[in-house]
Structure 1
Amino acid sequence: MISRLHYISQETPGKTHLQNIEEACKAGVDWVQLRLKNKSEEEVLDIATQAKAICKEHKAKLIINDYVAIAKKVKANGVHLGQGDMDPIEARKLLGDRPYIGGTANTWDQVEALAMAQVDYIGLGPFRDTTTKENLSPILGIKGISAILNHMIIEDVHIPIIAIGGIRVEDIFDLQLSGCHGIAIASLINSSENKTDTINDIKYCLPDGEF
């Protein structure tokens, strides 16, 4: 089952990816995307191995951003691929049928291509400006996301859409109404002084509390 809340790891002042992942898992997330940039493959493998242990302890799924071979090596639950990363079809050949494969999209054409590649879910955004990602694609906002979701209905494309990019708690209801399956959150959780309260607030806004 694709979770409705995708937590994306970050380093924050005084805290590593692993520390933030452990806090988020303890606070109630069950889907963790490990997103590492500007690190060697050796560092990524080491961090991914430890992240897998943390997620296993807390019964959370671990998704590795970009590094398909490392995801296979640590037996992660899946990978998330950006537009410049490995083709999802190639990733499926390497990983087999069980792991989740997600892709990032900013336009209808990208959604259509990912649908043809049979990804399990699509991260659609950015919803608004965010400092957690470099080389940001054009901002979609609620109108852009709704337009793409409406196009999916017209074209009979059925893939869970996860909205991403600067999402706040007050945005969740409108994103639900647009047809999004869920949301991906980084800074809102990572910068929170009380992750449990923040995650509970997010869950309260999501349909049926399904996780």
Structure 2
Amino acid sequence: MLQFITHPSERYTIAEEVQMVLEGGCKWIQLRLKDATDEEFRQTALEIIPLCKENEAFLVFDDRVELAIEMSVHGVHLGKDDMNPLVARENMGAEAIIGCTANTAADITRLRGWDVDYVGLGPFRYTTTKARLSPVIGLDGYTDIVREVRAADILLPIVAIGGITLEDIPAVMATGVNGVAMSGSIINADDPVDYTRKVLGALQEAFEKRR
């Protein structure tokens, strides 16, 4: 499970980023444009929605529930300060994908019984967008959190996020998480298409080892 999170860069437009990761085989895109106006967000979404449809990829918006409904995308990812996921579910319906941000086991436990599809748990290591807000978790932290929430019979899929690279995937997946979300390591790679392919291959290897 790989989610690619868009991030403005000097090298590529958002549409170019999405096109490359889709070519690399990624099937799950999160459009994240924190500082954009709704109209700017809408215009970028209009560029990437056809790409996702053509490649049969899921597209979720970071926050922007109203826009997600308006543009009929698959769902949203909600941060701690965004719309309550229960309200989002009521507004978006049963078929929508709804993900939530988590930094601790307690964050995940609070979602027990809620109609949420996954949590993005992080940050794995320091990043300019994540770790300034929350302490890094690291491998031991992921292992402990996954163990705690699974022992509490919480089976919500957990996606690791925050500075993860291709080289990290075997160890990160060994902690018991269900997938990873990546952004900068893909965008900054010499060949983002090939890098995406290698990430997906590493994830597949990791899942096979857990069987």
TM-score by length of 2: 0.93
CA contact (8 A) 1:108 1:151 kept: yes
Residues 209 and 135 from structure 1, CA distance in 2 versus in 1: closer, same or farther, beyond 3 angstroms?
closer
CA contact (8 A) 2:174 2:206 kept: no
Q: Take 2:65 and 2:205, find their aligned partners in 1: how far apart are those partners?
A: 33
1:175 to 172, 183, 197: 172
CA contact (8 A) 1:126 1:138 kept: yes
**SS state of the match for residue 129, structure 1?**
coil
**SS state of the match for residue 32, structure 1?**
strand
Q: Match for residue 7 of structure 2?
A: 10
Q: Take 1:17 and 1:196, find their aligned partners in 2: how far apart are those partners?
A: 14
Residues 207 and 24 from structure 1, CA distance in 2 versus in 1: closer, same or farther, beyond 3 angstroms?
closer
Q: Which amino acid aligns with 2:194?
A: D
Q: Which amino acid aligns with 1:151?
A: E
Q: Take 1:208 and 1:77, find their aligned partners in 2: how far apart are those partners?
A: 28
Confirm whether residue 36 of structure 1 aligns to residue 33 of structure 2: yes
Q: Which amino acid aligns with 1:128?
A: R
Runs of 4 or more consecutive aligned structure 1 residues displaced over 6 Å after TM superposition: none
2:116 to 111, 114, 119: 119
Q: What is the CA deviation profile of residues 113-162 of structure 1, one whole-angstrom value per residue up to 9, with x for unaligned ones?
A: 22332210010000001124474311000111111100012100001100
Alignment map for 1:111-190 (pairs within 5 Å): 111-133=108-130, 135-190=132-187
Shift of 1:207: 3.1
CA contact (8 A) 1:11 1:20 kept: no
Q: Match for residue 105 of structure 1?
A: 102
CA contact (8 A) 1:132 1:187 kept: no
Q: Match for residue 49 of structure 2?
A: 52
TM-score by length of 1: 0.93
- Structure 1 unaligned residues grouped into runs of 5+: none
Considering only aligned residues, what root-mean-square deviation do their CA atoms show, in Å?
1.6
Shift of 1:99: 1.1
Q: Which amino acid aligns with 2:124?
A: F
Overall identity of the aligned pairs, in %: 36
Shift of 1:205: 1.2
- Structure 2 unaligned residues grouped into runs of 5+: none
**SS state of the match for residue 157, structure 1?**
coil
